[in-house]
Structure 1
Amino acid sequence: MAREQTEVRELDEGSYVMMDDAPCKINSYSTAKPGKHGSAKARIEGKGVFDGKKRSLSQPVDAKVWVPIIERKQGQVVNVESADVAQVMDLDTYETITMKVPGDLTLSADDDIEYLEYEDQRKIVQS
């Protein structure tokens, strides 16, 4: 598994955390003061990196959470199969992968792109 454990207090906006077994990017992070019987609580709002779903998490700041190790990779478009599917060659391994193209991107063959990879999930982030 490409993830590591860290304490909730180590997280901040823009970093990644696992929520409901999905890697999410943190949109907001806030803490409440310690209560009468315990430690401060953190409330984390995030959005799924690969599925776009909004999720939230409320944990004590000293609780351990999993942080996904998401790799940022470079690729080149080999072939555009349709408006939302492209074949991309990884520029390190020369492996060819079929990926979904985000709706706001228009790609053509030979475009250089950047994509995120976590386990067997991939997402094009820019061209």
Structure 2
Amino acid sequence: MSKKVVEVKTLKVGKYVIIGGEASKITSIQTSSPGKHGAAKARVEASGIFDGQKRNFVKPVDSKCDVPMIDKCLGQVLSIMGKNDVQLMDLETYETFDIPIPDELKGKLNEGSEVDYIMAMGKKKLMRIKG
């Protein structure tokens, strides 16, 4: 699991964070001003990259949190297996693997077409068709 540790105050909307062991994309950040005896707190809301589930946490802005290392890769479709899976070959390592087809790309994939996919925390997700 490749991740790095950053302070909560460095997080931005559109970036990624690990909440509950899942890589998530930040949708909103709200910060409260510090009180008389307390520190400022940040409420971070995010949606899971792989499952789409909404997650959130509240922490002081100077505390630490985990950020996943996300690899963006290029692959080629070798075969379409049924309606839900596709076999991809990474164009750098020539590794082949099966990956589920997201709903927005069903019916649009062809054998031999190039696609972008991401890898994070041992999981892979098909993002878009190149060209």
Normalising to structure 2: TM-score of the pair? 0.94
Q: Give SS of 1:9's match.
A: helix
Q: Please name the residue that 1:24 is paired with.
A: 24
Counterpart of 2:115 (choices 107, 113, 123) is 113
**Amino acid in the other structure paired with 1:95:** E
Normalising to structure 1: TM-score of the pair? 0.97
Cα deviation, residue 86, structure 1: 0.1
| Counterpart check, 1:39 vs 2:39 | yes
Cα deviation, residue 51, structure 1: 1.1
Q: Distance in 1 between matches of 2:70 and 2:60?
A: 25
Q: Give SS of 1:52's match.
A: coil
Cα deviation, residue 36, structure 1: 2.1
Cα deviation, residue 39, structure 1: 1.1
Cα deviation, residue 65, structure 1: 0.2
> Where in structure 2 are there 5+ consecutive unaligned residues?
none
Q: Please name the residue that 1:94 is paired with.
A: 94
Q: Distance in 2 between matches of 1:24 and 1:119?
A: 11
**Amino acid in the other structure paired with 2:25:** K
Cα deviation, residue 52, structure 1: 0.9
**Amino acid in the other structure paired with 1:45:** E
Cα deviation, residue 47, structure 1: 0.5
Q: Please name the residue that 1:76 is paired with.
A: 76
Q: In the alignment, is the contact (CA less than 8 A) between 2:23 and 2:121 conserved in 1?
A: no
| Residues 49-92 of structure 1: CA deviation (Å, up to 9, x unaligned) | 11111001111000100000011110010000022100000011
Q: Please name the residue that 2:5 is paired with.
A: 5
**Amino acid in the other structure paired with 1:111:** S
Q: How many residues align?
A: 127
Q: Give SS of 2:92's match.
A: coil
Cα deviation, residue 119, structure 1: 3.0
Over the aligned positions, Cα root-mean-square deviation in angstroms equals 0.8
Q: Distance in 2 between matches of 1:72 and 1:12?
A: 19
Q: Please name the residue that 1:123 is paired with.
A: 125
> Where in structure 1 are there 5+ consecutive unaligned residues?
none
